Chains A and B, each alone.
Chain A
Amino acid sequence: MFGNLFGKTTTTIATGGSDTSGDAASAGFTTFIGKVSRANSKSDEAHVVATELKNLAANIAAPNQSMVQMRDYLCRVAYICMMGYEVEFACIHAVKLAQLGTNYDKRIGYLACCLLLHRNHDLILLLINTIQKDLKSSNILDNLAAMTAAAQLVPAELIPSLLPMIVAKLQHQRELVRQKAVLCLHQFQFLAPDLLAHCKESLERALLDKDPGVMAVAVQLVAYSIQRNAAGCIHLGDPLVSVLQQIVARKLSDIFNYQTIPFPWLQIQIIKCLSALVPHSEVLKTKVSSIIRVILQRNSIKEKMAFAILYECIQCIVKMAPEKDLLDESAQHVKRFVNSSNPNLQYIGVKMLVSLVALNPAYAVEYQDMIVQSLEHKDTVIHKKMHGVLYGIACEANVKVVCSKLLQQLKISSDRFWKAELATMVVSLVSRFPVEPQWQINSLFNTLWCSSGDLDRTMLKDIKQLIGDRFLSKDCDPQCQQYLLQKCISALVSDKTAIPLLQIALWIVGSLCSFLKNMEDDKVLMLFTNLLLQENMPFSIQSAVITCIHKLVAMGIVEQVSMATKLTECLSHELPLVIKQQLNIIIKMCSLKLKVDPSDTVVMDLTLTFLDDLVCARLEAGAEPYRPSHLRHSLPGQHIILTSQSPAAPSSGLEVEEVDESMIGDRATVDSSSSPKTDTERDSSLIQPDIKRVWGKQGRLDASKEKKSTPKNLTGQKRTSSEQDNLAKALFGGLQKNEKASLKVFTGFEDDDQYDDYLNNFKTDLPGPWSNRLRSSIPENVNVETMSIRNTGIIQESFNVLNQFAMSNESTKTPKENEIDYLQLQGDINLKKDASNENNGEQISEGSLYNDLNNKLAGAEVDFDAQLSQLLEASVTSGDVHCLHRTDGFFKEDPVSKTAVSEIALENDGFLDVESCRIKHSIYTDSD
């Protein structure tokens, strides 16, 4: 076959060389093919094809073309299409020919449609009518052609228009029609499984068709159902077994034998189905195992096809987790495969060995030599498969050798999928056999070195988790940790490290930064700043670097003055705004000589309760309630000193830096009466989301008043439960539309009850359900900033809202813009305090418009040394909270579901601390 390329000359073919082929190729086609084959280069060929296409386009569109010509043109178009040229113009003519032609013309038309169109093509709509007509036709050739086209071309949404007709064809008297109908339905089932639910019965009846050919395709259809839902298809097991029994007993006609084996493909298919079913039914299992025994006995292994059946049998045996003797018998058969001289059988043998060894590694012992030889096998495919066997036989004793072999492959391979597979094997070996820690670290790092660019997220997450569990917890061997750190640093220094590895390395260095104390400060700093300033660094890495530097400063690893100078240098480089902002914070922290005891647990304070006392005290002392900066302009009657600061107000993100400079010289001052709560108090405020309002317009609220307010609310505002749901909508919708209403909110709520509701709504449902509701209820473009009202807690929540808002509606504000808004909000917090300070005749800090908690604390530190440590702790706490909120926004740029926040947090731990991730996670899971 194909022995001689020009066994037949072009002329004989052109004049209809073979009788069976009917019509011969036209002269035009022959010349075209001749030209194409004479073309010396790709551009020559393109030229020839372009001329041909031009002619074809003109001819095909000309009126009054005969069907014979049309056929010829479409054949040429199909050929050109196969060569990879654009033939869109011919599609409509293919559809037309299918529609208008008869018999042979129609078939060519359908064939051209199949070759040129696809399911989502616009012209399919035109073709559907033709298919419907041909399905109704009494001509079975039309039926067949239509069904072939339908199987290939009909998209899911058009299936209902054809389905009844095709189901009816299952009863057709000709088996060929039934056969095609079954396969057509199989395709439909594939596209839209639910649509076919009602005709399941008639489909399964096809299994019992009197024609074995129809039965054979029906098995394929059943196989698909089984693959989707094996447990629901148990009832199919018995008919399948009985069919198989009859095939094996050779009760069916001989004409279906292939190489003396009856129905080999059908046998394979049935055994496949059964092996999927057996794990769900014990009864079936005994039946299947008995018939498999028969097949194993009867199979005369002379034909290749017999090996194919044998292979399926052994796969089935492995799935059944059966008796030892059956397994042993299959092991004997595997030997025949593996020792065969035919490479195909060898391959299949190794494949079987992989599945056998997974059950019991002892089966590999026999093949020791062979396995070792195969690792040098000249056929890469077998060679690759053998690594699967190696993986299967790994145990404590040999895991190192196995791993080194796998890593060796990993190094030299360039195939992405193969690398990912190898990496999975190595990681799973390391987690299964925790032998020497150094070896573990080396293996994981080598895996990451070679393949981290090719690994998917879950894989990287697994590796991180493994490292975290094994080496980063407190009771780990410091020597290992040191070794790990060394590895990481070498990864950070190298410029060839892939991004995922860099990220993991940074995360590890951050967790182990106490060991960096032994290094010279300069070196440590260089390590990070180099990374930060490296060109084309992705944001994720930059933020991870920032997190590390944060930790270095907080734990006092590096001398803070040199740190500050170094970081100030970095500021002059081009960096993302957020990163620069973080750097500023760190520099400030350095100048304050802050230090955190790493043993302290970090607690998140979502509502800034530690400021409540301070604010209350100020208000009681007669201070003005807080107003956001933009409002201060619009209320001329009020006593506004802060307006003078307006040039420095960060109305847009671009000004932040400027503002920042003015801030550095200033010191925010905070009243000493701000008494931070103890850890336990804060803890409880976290657990109990329903935090009561502690102060009002007239100062601290007493409990009785608050109690009274609730019933009043119910009657006064006729609040129903649905209204409660819509409260947010009402509040914020009004904010946008009604100036008056918004003023009400800005200046604090007119009546306290309203405020209470507002606050409670924030607290009780936060962050899950409430934010969802809010998200759905807030009209677009609402300025969430206006929600920053009197309480710092509310401001905090506002930012939450802001962020949630950005998540749900990215068109209005990106997380980055949000970040800027956030800074403004924080600025407002400080302004509020400034306002209260001012009323006490204290010094007003000018630059406090740019703010961060660190900054506020800076003021606190100067004035009140005694409370510094507590405040500082609070700052770390709330600092973390802010980080969380910020990263929240960034997460939304990844299309990851919200429920997987913990996962995201681990992956993007740019600003995050593991600790805060956990808190975050628990919050989300609690609220959901």
Chain B
Amino acid sequence: MIKAILVFNNHGKPRLSRFYQYYPEDMQQQIVRETFHLVSKRDDNVCNFLEGGTLIGGSDFKIIYRHYATLYFVFCVDSSESELGILDLIQVFVETLDKCFENVCELDLIFHVDKVHYILAELVMGGMVLETNMTEIITRIEEQNKLEKSEAGIAAAPARAVSALKEMNIPQKVKDMKLPDLPSIGNLKF
């Protein structure tokens, strides 16, 4: 399970923090500080994993981070997550941000707190990986933006009409055509 996702800059200023397990406010700040302290000490040519020894979960706890120019992306996870998997998940997250914000920079994270969180919400939900496919995530975000814009215009329209409109979206139709081919699985009984 992913316990927390933190983004801070080279000076340790938090740019995004999302905790999937509850910690009191001051504890959260302490976690951010301690994580920054641990991560910033490390060279670029050492591995991107750190183990145990911190506030969040003791020995059953790993920090997996990536450093991009001015920002550190840190995922705090428990031992059930695959290190290399998470490392690539960070890459997916950053690439998605980059696509959505068109060449993302630190300021985007500051001024579009909400959008960044929405993107993250498509990637990870409740500490579990929700979607790992970048194109899919982007499609969803765009789809939602579009729906919102269109709905804002016809907010007074009956709900059924609105949902009919939603069903008409093309990328989804395309996707439905590529359904997985799982013939054998259908016959299984539980």
Contacts and interface: CB of A to CB of B under 8 A. Distances in A.
Contacts of A104: 148, 152
Contacts of A21: 100-101, 108, 112, 115
Contact of A79 (B84, B113, B130, B186): B113
Contacts of A381: 46-47, 49-51
Interface string A506-538: 000000000000000000000000000000000
A118 B166 CA distance: 32
Interface in A48-96: 71, 75, 78-79, 82-84, 86
Nearest to A71: B114
A809 to B, nearest CB: 33
Interface string A1-21: 111111110100110001011
A13 B107 contact: yes
B46 A378 contact: yes
A213 B179 contact: no
B128 A186 contact: yes
Interface in A19-39: 20-22, 24-25, 29-30, 33
A4 B103 CA distance: 10
A746 interface: no
B107 A5 contact: yes
A272 interface: yes
Contacts of B159: 137-139
Contacts of B51: 381, 384
Contacts of A384: 51
Q: Which one of A14, A84, A137, A379 has the greatest number of beta carbons of chain B within 10 Å?
A: A84
A210 B177 CA distance: 11
A303 to B, nearest CB: 9
Contacts of A119: 22
B111 A344 contact: no
A437 B186 CA distance: 65
Interface in B89-113: 89, 92, 94, 97-98, 100-108, 110-113
A252 B87 contact: no
A8 B105 CA distance: 8
Interface residues of B, number: 97
Interface stretch (A305-313, A625-633, A675-683, A764-772): A305-313
Contacts of A312: 82
A417 B114 contact: no
Contact of B186 (A20, A174, A208, A252): A208
A739 interface: no
Contacts of A148: 121, 125
Interface in A398-419: 415-418
Contacts of B135: 255
A777 interface: no
A2 B114 contact: no
Interface string B55-97: 0001100000000111100000000101111011100101001
Contacts of B106: 2, 5
Contacts of A7: 103, 105, 107
B85 A252 contact: no
Contacts of A242: 182, 184-185, 188
Contact of A6 (B18, B71, B105, B127): B105
Nearest to A235: B190
Given A29-B111, A211-B179, A308-B82, A115 B117 contact: yes
A468 interface: no
A264 interface: yes
Interface string B6-20: 000000001111101
B107 A8 contact: yes
A67 to B, nearest CB: 11
A417 B53 contact: yes
Contact of A305 (B52, B84, B160): B84
A8 B108 contact: yes
A304 interface: yes
A305 to B, nearest CB: 5
Contacts of A82: 14-17, 113
Nearest to A265: B132
B80 A227 contact: yes
A152 interface: yes
B21 to A, nearest CB: 10
A868 to B, nearest CB: 57
A1 B53 contact: no
B17 to A, nearest CB: 5
A616 to B, nearest CB: 62
B181 A246 contact: yes
A220 B97 CA distance: 25
Contact of B160 (A78, A138, A251, A417): A138
A906 interface: no
Contacts of B85: 264-265, 268, 305, 308
A925 to B, nearest CB: 33
A79 B110 contact: yes
A418 B58 CA distance: 10
Given A13-B108, A107-B118, A139 B47 contact: no
A210 B179 contact: yes
A252 B180 contact: yes
B166 to A, nearest CB: 6
Contact of A379 (B25, B47, B148): B47
Nearest to A145: B121
A881 interface: no
B166 A140 contact: yes
A6 B132 contact: no
Contacts of A107: 114, 118
B71 A268 contact: no
A258 B133 contact: yes
A29 B186 CA distance: 53
Nearest to B95: A1
A212 interface: yes
| Residue from the set A119, A258, A307 with the largest chain B CB neighbour count within 10 Å | A258
Contact of A84 (B29, B68, B115): B29
Nearest to B14: A82
A13 B108 CA distance: 8
A141 B147 contact: yes
A139 B115 contact: no
A295 B160 CA distance: 48
Interface stretch (A176-184, A356-364, A440-448, A706-714): A176-184
Contacts of A648: none
B130 A24 contact: no
29 contacts: A2-B68, A2-B105, A3-B105, A5-B106, A5-B107, A18-B102, A22-B148, A33-B110, A33-B111, A71-B114, A111-B117, A151-B126, A186-B126, A208-B186, A212-B180, A213-B133, A217-B128, A235-B190, A246-B184, A265-B85, A272-B82, A304-B88, A308-B84, A343-B47, A344-B49, A348-B84, A379-B46, A415-B52, A417-B53
Given A107-B114, A220-B129, A272-B80, 8 more contacts: A20-B141, A243-B182, A264-B132, A265-B89, A268-B85, A311-B84, A344-B84, A381-B50
Please name the 9 residue pairs, one residue from A and one from B, whose CB atoms are nearest each other, closest first: A308-B84, A151-B126, A343-B47, A379-B46, A84-B29, A25-B111, A253-B178, A347-B47, A415-B53
